[in-house]
Amino acid sequence: EKSVLQLGSLDGEEDGGVPLQVPKEIWLLVDHLFKHACHQEDLFQTPGMQEELEQIIDCLDTSIPETIPGSNHSVAEALLIFLEALPEPVICYELYQRCLDWSQNSRLC
């Protein structure tokens, strides 16, 4: 069973509203990229290093790390690997067409 975290908080405490829940791996990887790689050239285009990928995966499998090891490119590739391994896409099959149909309406999105 995958543990999930409330979006915006690693400790699961949220200030009001109903939090979204995501697997901790996605939260940690996206949070790291947001904090450290917003201006990274060729993010998601440059491959990560195999040794760093193994360290990142091991780190996420065994703990909730304060920092994720490796380069931004390795963190981005680890995120792609995790997303590819999901049994169903982030936008589930059932809602995919509806999401496309409503993509031009910010309220419905």
CATH number at residue 77: 1.10.555.10
Domain assignment of residue 62, yes or no:
yes
Domain assignment of residue 70, yes or no:
yes
Domain assignment of residue 109, yes or no:
no
22-48 pLDDT, tens per residue?
788 999 999 999 999 999 999 999 999
The number of distinct structural domains making up the chain is 1
pLDDT-derived band of residue 63, with 50, 70 and 90 as boundaries?
A: confident
Task: Reduce the DSSP state of residue 3 to 3 states and report it.
Answer: coil
Domain assignment of residue 108, yes or no:
no
Task: Reduce the DSSP state of residue 29 to 3 states and report it.
Answer: helix
What lies within 8 Å, CB to CB, of 59 at 6+ separation is: 65, 68, 69
pTM of the predicted model, to two decimals? 0.73
Domain assignment of residue 106, yes or no:
no
Domain assignment of residue 27, yes or no:
yes
Range of the domain at 58: 4-101
Domain assignment of residue 21, yes or no:
yes
The pLDDT of residue 69 is above 80: yes
Distance CA 87, CA 18 (A): 25
pLDDT of residue 40: 93
